[in-house]
């Protein structure tokens, strides 16, 4: 059922009033026509006007008549148009083609009773056919969803600028105070004990102590990345409320905790020979 | 001033100071010199007045700012929702590029010169030590700051339709960030660099089927050598930044196209 926006209905009602036409809801569908011509078709369309008063209370205009009945659309054609077509056919058959013409040709239709249906028309004496029905929603978006928005300048840019300055200041102070490590010249023949990877790979190095290098160094991180990438395609739960996503959230938290624990153990709890120690006993073997 | 008389002693003094500062500011701002220099239309041909129209023009007429839409959802500017983490990752990338370019002036990626050059930066170059420290710490911070917004996105369920693909791009960005950091790790050519990278690349050698080829392609030799240094230098300063910029462009573009950051919970 096409949804006609309220403001269009209102405008149509105003125009009809200005032209002295009955306001929709009392008559069936139809374009604004000359006032004197409007009387006769309304009389000729007895079945249509009969059902219209029932729709008056709903104030939904012409479609509400269709809404009363169970929607029995066929092949995408709205039920009320099918209904109208059926009634017109019946009227044309019964009334001797009194109102064979439909739509905007109302003024012409007043003369129709005297003229016989033209020869060489389509099946059933039709001169016009319904080619297609374009639903209003498919061609025009009449009402944009209102969103609570603010101007990027100044609201967002000010925050970003503050954050940027804050990080720069923090980094500058930290860099002035803490020196980046620079050990002796690289020497292929002198392996330090322990040799550690950069901290973000220490979780993998920790896995090396438990698994075959192929599993720890390739399979597990590969699987991890792959699982992360397919996560949105696997997780089909449309809600983003934490209460609805207990499983996903616990799984991800578990994954994070697992990784964080591995990295922390690899960083601080591994000493000479990559043996497990407590940092408060053996000291820290860790360089950033 | 009315506040000063109402409040307690401390508050009164504070308010008094504030009005003093305000008055001084007005005096300087309203002086002949200032008004003639900064008269509207002097430096900026068209003065700025705060209106919705001008607020829009600030974004629309700037190539930098128009990464942003003219308007954003109100909840999107709540700092507590994102903690600015994604934007800060991007900013750290820019900071790393700037400090990195500085370091490139003084660094040669050869076995004989790399370590001496870094030591030179530390001791003989103006601000060399500071810039190197900043580059290093910002790199570690960036690994964190790329990883944190990803967690944020997961907990907010923000990777769901229509943002699935942007999440995939995000995972790629995380991987590229790790690779950038890892390739940079070798460049000082000290014991720490050499052996950390050795541990890392040994693992890559275990890739099934073509493991040794992968390792050889990455190292440029059987073991880490001067060849590796040159290779990783090029990866670090050219190839990986080039690739990551492309993915960042896609990422930021998709953030906008997918309707800004995800809605409130």
Rounded (10°) angle between helices B85-104 and B240-257: 160
Percent of chain A with pLDDT strictly greater than 90: 23
Q: Does the pLDDT value for residue A259 go beyond 70?
A: yes
pLDDT exceeding 90 applies to what percent of chain B?
51
- Note whether B164 contacts A233, CB cutoff 8 Å: yes
B64 - beta bridge partners?
none
Q: Provide the pLDDT for residue A122.
A: 63
Tell me: the pLDDT tens digits for A34-49? 444 444 444 444 444 4
Q: Is residue B36 part of a domain?
A: no
- In this complex, do A205 and B56 lie within 8 Å of one another by their Cβ atoms? no
> What's the rounded mean pLDDT across residues B193-211?
85
Are A182 and B119 in contact, with CB atoms under 8 Å apart?
yes
Is B17 inside a domain boundary? no
Please provide residue A110's backbone torsions phi and psi, each rounded to the nearest 5 degrees: -65, -30
All residues of chain A having their beta carbon less than 8 Å from the beta carbon of residue B206 are: 212-214, 217-218
Q: How far is B9 from chain A (nearest CA, A)?
A: 32
For the ranges A111-115, A164-168, B127-131, the lowest mean pLDDT is seen at A111-115
DSSP state of A155: I
Q: Is the pLDDT of residue B44 over 50?
A: yes
Query: Which chain B residues contact residue A287 at CB under 8 A?
Result: 192
Contact A31, A14 (CB under 8 A): no
User: Which whole number is the average pLDDT over A128-144?
Assistant: 70
Interface pTM, i.e. ipTM: 0.81
Phi/psi of residue B50, each to 5°? -80, 105
Question: B147 or A148: whose pLDDT is higher?
Answer: B147
Instruction: Give A 12-71 residues with CB within 8 A of chain B.
Output: none
User: What's the confidence (pLDDT) of residue A182?
Assistant: 92
Is residue A61 over pLDDT 60? no
Determine the Cα–Cα distance for residues A243 and A247; give it in Å rounded to an integer. Answer: 10
What is the Cα–Cα distance from A76 to A99, expressed in whole angstroms? 25
Asked, for residue B223, whether it belongs to a domain, the answer is yes
CB-based contact, A213 to chain B, within 8 Å? yes
Q: What is the CATH number of the domain that holds B173?
A: 1.20.810.10
Q: What is the pLDDT of residues A83-116, one digit of tens each?
A: 888 888 888 877 554 444 444 444 444 444 555 5
Closest CA to B229 of B193, B192, B196: B193
CB atoms B137 and A153 under 8 Å? no
In 3D space, the residue among A154, A174, A163 whose CA is nearest the CA of residue B85 turns out to be: A163
A196/B133 CB distance under 8 A: no
Q: Is residue B163 part of a domain?
A: yes
Residue B109's pLDDT is what?
95
Residue B185, pLDDT score: 93
Q: Is A198 left (phi over 0), alpha (psi -120 to 50) or beta?
A: beta
pLDDT of residue B67: 86
pLDDT in tens, A115-126: 555 555 666 667
Percent of chain A topping pLDDT 70: 66
Our CA angle for A159, A163, A167, nearest 5°, is 175
Identify whether the C-beta of residue A190 lies closer than 8 Å to the C-beta of residue B110.
no
Residue A171 has pLDDT above 90, yes or no: yes
Q: What is the mean pLDDT of chain A?
A: 75
Domains of chain A are 6-139 (no CATH), 152-182 (no CATH), 191-282 (1.10.287)
Cβ–Cβ < 8 Å for B197, B186: yes
Nearest Cβ partner of A156 from B72, B143, B262?
B72
| Residue of B68, B134, B192 with shortest CB distance to A152 | B68
Give domain status of residue B78, yes or no. Answer: no
A258, pLDDT greater than 80: yes
Structural domain count of chain B: 1
Nearest to A152 among B59, B79, B206 (CB): B59
In a domain, B170, yes or no: yes
**Full residue range of the structural domain in which residue B187 is found:** 92-257
Q: Which of A179, A215, A216, A211 is nearest to A197 (CA)?
A: A216
Is-cis flag, bond preceding A194, omega within 30? yes
What is the reported pLDDT for B123? 94
pLDDT at residue A29 tops 60: no
pLDDT computed for residue A144 by the predictor: 66
Nearest by Cα to B244 from B144, B94, B104: B94
Assess if residue B49 is contained within a domain.
no
């Amino acid at each position: 059922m096409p949804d006609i926006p309220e403001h269009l209905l209102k405008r149509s009602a105003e125009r009809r009033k200005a032209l002295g036409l009955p306001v929709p809801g009392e008559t069936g569908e139809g374009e604004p026509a000359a006032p004197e011509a409007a009387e006769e078709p309304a009389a000729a369309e007895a079945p249509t006007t009969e059902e219209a008063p029932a729709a008056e209370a709903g104030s939904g205009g012409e479609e509400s008549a269709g809404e009363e009945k169970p929607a029995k659309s066929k092949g995408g054609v709205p039920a009320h148009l099918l209904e109208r077509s059926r009634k017109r056919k019946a009227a044309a058959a019964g009334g001797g083609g009194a109102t064979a013409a439909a739509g905007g040709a109302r003024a012409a239709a007043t003369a129709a009773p005297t003229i016989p249906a033209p020869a060489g028309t389509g099946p059933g004496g039709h001169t016009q056919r319904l080619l297609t029905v374009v639903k209003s929603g498919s061609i025009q978006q009449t009402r944009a969803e209102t969103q609570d928005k603010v101007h990027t300048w100044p609201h967002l840019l000010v925050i970003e600028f503050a954050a940027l300055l804050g990080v720069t200041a923090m980094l500058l102070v930290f860099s002035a105070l803490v020196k980046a490590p620079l050990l002796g010249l690289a020497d292929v023949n002198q392996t330090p004990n322990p040799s550690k990877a950069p901290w973000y790979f220490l979780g993998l190095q920790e896995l090396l102590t438990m698994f075959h290098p192929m599993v720890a160094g390739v399979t597990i991180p590969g699987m991890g990345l792959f699982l992360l990438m397919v996560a949105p395609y696997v997780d089909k739960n449309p809600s983003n409320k934490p209460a609805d996503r207990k499983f996903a959230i616990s799984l991800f938290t578990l994954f994070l905790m697992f990784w964080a624990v591995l990295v922390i153990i690899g960083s601080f709890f591994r000493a000479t020979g990559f043996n497990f120690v407590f940092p408060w006993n053996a000291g820290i073997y860790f360089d950033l | 001033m009315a506040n000063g008389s109402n409040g307690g002693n401390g508050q009164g003094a504070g308010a008094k100071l504030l009005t003093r500062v305000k008055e001084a500011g007005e005096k300087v701002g309203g002086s002949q010199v200032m008004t003639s220099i900064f008269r509207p239309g002097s430096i900026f041909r068209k003065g700025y007045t705060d209106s919705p129209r001008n607020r829009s023009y600030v974004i629309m007429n700037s190539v930098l700012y128009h990464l942003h839409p003219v308007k954003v959802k109100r909840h999107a500017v709540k700092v507590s929702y994102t903690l600015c983490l994604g934007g800060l990752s991007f900013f750290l990338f820019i900071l790393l590029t700037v400090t990195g370019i500085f370091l490139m002036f003084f660094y040669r990626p050869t076995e004989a010169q790399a370590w001496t050059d870094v030591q030179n930066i530390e001791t003989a170059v103006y601000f060399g030590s500071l810039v190197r420290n900043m580059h290093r710490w910002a790199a570690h911070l960036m690994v964190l700051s790329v990883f944190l917004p990803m967690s944020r996105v997961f907990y907010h369920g923000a990777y769901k339709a229509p943002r699935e693909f942007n999440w995939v791009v995000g995972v790629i960005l995380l991987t590229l960030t790790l690779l950038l950091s890892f390739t940079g790790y070798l460049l000082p050519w000290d014991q720490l660099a050499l052996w950390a990278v050795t541990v890392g690349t040994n693992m890559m050698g275990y890739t099934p089927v073509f493991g040794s080829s992968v390792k050889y392609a990455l190292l440029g030799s059987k073991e880490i050598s001067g060849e590796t240094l040159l290779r990783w230098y090029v990866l670090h300063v050219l190839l990986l930044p080039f690739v990551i910029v492309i993915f960042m462009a896609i990422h930021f573009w998709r953030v906008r196209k997918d309707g800004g950051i995800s809605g409130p919970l």
